[in-house]
Structure 1
Amino acid sequence: MVTFLNKFDCARVGWLFLAFFITPITAAQTPNITKIKSKVYGETREILVSLPASYEQDKDKIYPVIYLTDANMQVPHAAPMIHYLAGGISELIVVGIQTFDRHDELSPYHQDGTVFSKTEGAEKLLAFIETEVKPLINQTYRTAPFEILSGHSLGGLFTMFTFARHPEKFDAYFALSPTLAWADGKLLDEIEQSLEGMANNRILVAYSEKETPFVNQYAAFQKFLTLLKTKAPSSLDVNARFISGEDHMTIAHLGLYHALRYTFRDWWLSSNTMVGAPEKFDAHYARLSKRLGYSIRPEFNELWGLTAYLIREQHYVEAHYLIKKWQGYYPNRSAPFYELAQLYLAQDKPIAANRSILQAIENAKPNSRQQRRSQDLQAKIRAKL
């Protein structure tokens, strides 16, 4: 089933901006270079790792991982965008895999169509990722059990090779302008066979430029779309299409954006969903967790923004329900108690508000903006006592 991306909900974006305005987040780190003494390659290889801004702030949080081929080309533009989208999508750990001889590392075939052995070409690169890169990332960082493989051009071919031969290796596959015409389109035959026998739920996103000057590229991707339409099982979550107005290189950025937005669609809970039915909060995250295959914890700033909205619109029962959830997900944080004080104040309950604001002050970092805001609110509350 081929579906299309949802647009941002303007109301949600509004209070997302508010949440980020009142809780500044440090920019994500510059990618660090990690050296691996690879047994697969018999030499030292490098990967680039970029962590989300919240990684050092929230010590209990786990993060999905996106693996990008062609690290030196893709990480500089992809990582900042991925981190910037946090909140609209899941925060992600970004891992870039360096490739040197792209023809011999990213394809399962030589250009003439002859097949690389299992210790060469794409099979060798996949073995490096599976046996050396992934274990290092999972041991070093707090990773969630959700992994994405993304590649552009020949990297997109590598993505489709992995999907066709080893679909169990990743949870989601992003093929951005994949060179499916490589080796006379030989991989398309493998893709067709794999689609017919594929049983596992996976996410597959693939885009290519529509006005391409590469005639063979267009024909190969068109054939690929036909295969998906006629052969893809219902268990496969597919979003694949041509994109107009872009070229082979811009698809690397724009296509990645759309792939992320599609994969993490409905990440936000719409502002009014809980009104009159607070239990829909739990149902939303249960559905999202089921679709992606791991337990998802609501983002801190989403909870803040939604709580502030509910209080402002005088949906007090729903706001109280959400604050309790917020406190459970993020114990010993100041903001939930601050909003609880706001809620009690709005309900003309200054004694309860005072208890909450004292807790907010106690949990805030000394001399922080949050502490100052809490002290200002405390003064307003005391005037009501």
Structure 2
Amino acid sequence: MKKLILSVFTAFFSLCALAQKDNRVTIGTIDSIQSKILNEQRKIWVHVPSSWTPDSKQRYPVLYLLDGEDHFYSVVGIIQHLSQGIGNTICPEMMVVGIPNTDRIRDLTPTHVNPAPPYTDSLMLKTTGGGERFVSFIEKELIPHIDSLYPTQPYKILNGHSFGGLTVMNVAINHTKLFNSYISIDPSMWWDEMNLLKTTKNVLREKDFSGTAVYLGIANTLREGMDISTVRSDTTKRTRHIRSILNLDQYIKEEKQNGLRYESKYYGNEDHGSIPLIVTYDALRFIFDKYRFNPARKNLTDPTIDLIKHYQEVSKMLGYQVTPPEDVTNELGSDFLKQKQYAKAEEIFKINVTNYPESDLVYDSYGDYFLAMGNKSKALEYFKKSLSIKETPMVRKKINTLLSRK
């Protein structure tokens, strides 16, 4: 198992450590929880976005990640790429909670199976079927633990691959409201003679899934000479994995009346092992397809109203108040400033100053507006406010230039 190069402290000191600057690049901390339900100590790997500080009011949606030791690094990287930096606001910044395994086949299988002869004494299968207890651990112990110690928003995603994908589908079907969205990556729907698959077909017809999103990624595990059409008629065990997933996809698509927001994709160039990263990327883009505010694609009649209205809709979608991101707002205001649309630029910069009064950037940009308007005293006032929060050479140079002209 790969080791995280992380600090192992209590949750509070771990969070504080994230805000400290040192010579290490850290992406998370190792926390632990004593589970009464599972009767064991469970480690958890926790990523909190770098924008968080101990005195910050910022809070984040949470992605819960099964097989955490295998996928933590890549999932954190994908989210950082999609959520941080100018233009990269495809999804919100998010926490990631990786759940490493102690007994994987116990926790990630929903039903117990007995080994077939001659494997009647198989140790691997003796603990199978602990999936419901594991889900109970997540619901009653892990989520409350995370919510009590970390800066969380109520929006939650469950992500899992293979047996983890099987668990994701079990939770989505039988514990639907535990998470808002589900990412199921090449799930092992063949388990226990496709028991969960058979249950799923009936539940999809009878249950209301409104407000829930599922993304299903299907790997290419076909035998040579087959395609996704011909494999459906095959009856050998070697193809049962992909056949069960294709059946799942078909069942979900047939029940369009149940309110489930659903998308699936077959990845012909990816096998069972290579598929998790690209599916997670595509799934996040699907889940948050309406999150991004892209002025280039909008006919902005009133930019202030349009910006506010967009994030009101995003807030409704996510179930909590979403403030227009600082970078997005600042970029919009700067674009109007370059276009000499000064009234629009001022409106936008005012929004940022109101929403992010502790940011040096918002005062610097508002100072640029006053400088463009020829109001040097106001520009100097806002540049000084920016510098009082954070010393930056660029703003210092602006102040020195203005003072030298007096």
- TM-score normalised per structure 2: 0.80
Residues 1:263 and 2:287 are matched in the alignment:
yes
Cα distance between partner residues in 1 of 2:317 and 2:272: 31
Does residue 215 (structure 1) correspond to residue 217 (structure 2)? The answer is: no
Report matched runs for 1:249-288 at 5 Å.
Answer: 249-272=273-296, 273=298, 275-278=300-303, 279-288=305-314
Partner of 1:139 in structure 2? 148
Q: Does 1:374 align with 2:398?
A: no
Question: Does the CA contact (< 8 Å) of 1:70 and 1:99 recur in 2?
Answer: yes
Tell me the distance in 2 between the aligned counterparts of 1:271 and 1:57.
33
Q: Deviations along 1:240-281, whole A, 9 cap, x unmatched?
A: 121221111121111111111221224331134374321110
Residue 193 of structure 1 aligns with which residue?
Answer: 202
The superposition leaves residues 40-70 of structure 1 with CA deviations (integer Å, 9 ceiling, x where unpaired) of 1112121111221112277110001111111
* Alpha-carbon distance in structure 2 between the residues aligned to 1:208 and 1:120: 24
CA contact (8 A) 1:274 1:318 kept: no
Equivalent in the alignment of 1:297: 323
| Paired position in structure 2 for 1:345 | 371
CA contact under 8 A between 1:65 and 1:148: conserved in structure 2?
yes
Structure 1 residues 291 and 84: CA distance shift in structure 2, 3 A: same
CA RMSD of aligned residues (A): 2.6
Partner of 2:229: none
Q: Deviations over 1:98-126 (max 9, x none)?
A: 22332221111234699x9xx95110111
TM-score (norm 1): 0.84
Residue 383 of structure 2: aligned partner: 357
Change (3 A) 1:27 1:68: farther
Could you tell me which residue of structure 2 aligns to residue 18 of structure 1? none
Measured against aligned partners, the alpha-carbon deviations of 1:193-212 in whole angstroms (never above 9, x if no partner) come to: 22221244111111111454
1:64: which partner in 2? 61
Identify the residue that residue 261 of structure 2 maps to in structure 1. Answer: 237
Distance 2:25 2:171 in 1: 29
Q: Which residue does the alignment assign to 1:203? A: 213
Alpha carbons 1:29, 1:51 under 8 Å: kept: no
Residue 337 of structure 1: CA displacement? 1.4
Query: Cα 1:141–1:180, aligned 2, differ >3 Å: closer, same or farther?
Result: same
Match for 2:130: what amino acid? Answer: G
* Higher RCO structure, 1 or 2 (CA under 8 Å, sep 6+): 1
Q: 1:145 aligns to what SS in structure 2?
A: strand
| CA displacement at 1:140 relative to structure 2 | 0.5
Question: In structure 2, what is the Cα distance between the partners aligned to 1:175 and 1:210?
Answer: 15
**How far is the alpha carbon of 1:170 from its aligned partner?**
0.5
Q: In 2, Cα distance between the equivalents of 1:349 and 1:303?
A: 22
Instruction: State the match for 1:107 in structure 2.
Output: 109
Query: Structure 1 stretches of 5 or more lacking a match?
Result: 1-23
What is residue 50 of structure 1 aligned with on the other side? 47
Listed as ranges, the gaps of 5+ residues in structure 2 are 1-20, 117-124, 224-237
Counterpart residue identity of residue 80, structure 2: H
Pick from 332, 345, 349 the counterpart of residue 319 of structure 1: 345
- Please tell me the residue identity of whatever aligns with 1:75: F
Residues 283 and 61 from structure 1, CA distance in 2 versus in 1: closer, same or farther, beyond 3 angstroms? same
How far residue 305 of structure 1 moved from its aligned partner, in angstroms, is 2.5
Cα deviation for residue 184 of structure 1 reads: 2.2
- The one-letter amino acid of 1:152's match is H
- The answer on whether the counterparts of 1:156 and 1:178 sit within 8 Å (CA) in structure 2 is yes
**Residue 34 in structure 1 maps to residue 31 in structure 2:** yes
CA distance in 2, matches of 1:98, 1:162: 18
Q: Percent identity?
A: 25
Structure number with greater Rg is 2
Alpha-carbon distance between aligned partners in 2 of 1:174 and 1:112, rounded to the nearest angstrom: 29
> Cα deviations across residues 268-310 of structure 1 (Å, max 9, x unaligned)?
3113437432111011111111122221122222223332222
- 1:81: Cα distance to partner? 2.6
